[in-house]
Amino acid sequence: MTKVTVAALQLAFTDDIDENIARVETHVRKAAARGAKIILPPELFEGLYFCRVEDEALFATAQPVESHHAVLAMQRLAKELEIYIPTSFFERDGHHHYNSLAMIDDQGEIMGVYRKSHIPDGPGYEEKYYFRPGNSGFKVWKTKYGTIGVGICWDQWYPESARVMALMGAEMLFYPTAIGSEPYDADLDTSRMWRRAMLGHAVSNCMPVIAANRIGEEEGQRFYGHSFITDEWGDYLAEVGDQEHGALVATLDLDAARTHRAGMGFFRDRRPELYGRIAQDI
């Protein structure tokens, strides 16, 4: 299929998982009514962004993928609406904890789980306290509407992540996100850098990028939204600012992207034999 309609959700969350799931469900339904077949909620939409602080009591909120409340809810919704929902969640696997994503297909089945590869550690984003680095490797999934790759938040800053997923066959790149203000510098706004980094992935890999961020203030930390959908040129097909909530919807032409990708020659002209340094530790 040459064309697919996709959506990115942008909204604020509370500390009530049932309320958050209901909010996401409302916007998923609205996006599906507009024709979206792959719908991306933000990162860790099950609750507030808890990684602001280090609190061992919060580990109790993690659950295995097969019993996680948010994942189960999105499975039911995906089956009902016959859509795909890449679902971010706090995963417990035995004694290990991950920032993970369940790829849910249009029959409500889990196609696989991706575990966030790059884990940030800094003021307001203390993720290394909670999450092990992902051991799944990068993932792509073949859907009825094209092959998608998904990175989670901090993964989106790394061109290596996008290129590896592209080399694995991805035709679209999806990034669920929770990013906003920096507690150590109230004047620092990374929203422009954040968008530009992913626009670079679209341009360098000649494929659409879909990014879904949260909004709102959570105990002094402000999440800046600016969710968007681009085409293979890195041009915005849909975008919002730092306060709007709802679903961004756009139709992607994957055949046009494929033609553009071949014509640009970025994959033809790669020189992997020269890139050994990039896989070495500094």
Q: Catalogue the active-site residues.
A: 43, 116, 153
Distance between CA atoms of 239 and 228, rounded to whole angstroms?
A: 4
Could you tell me what percentage of the chain is helix, strand and coil, using 3-state DSSP and rounding each to the nearest 5?
A: 35, 30, 40
The first and second tokens of residue 57, run together, are: 């009591």
Residues 6+ apart with CB under 8 A from 60: none
DSSP state of 120: -
By three-state DSSP, how is residue 219 classified?
coil
Distance between CA atoms of 188 and 53, rounded to whole angstroms?
A: 20
Assign residue 146 a region (left: φ > 0; alpha: ψ between -120 and 50; beta: otherwise): left
Residue reference for tokens 């789980």? 113
Rg (CA), the chain: 18
37 φ, ψ to 5°? Answer: -110, -20
Cα end-to-end span (Å), the chain: 43
The first and second tokens of residue 6, run together, are: 């996709």
Distance between CA atoms of 142 and 149, rounded to whole angstroms?
A: 9
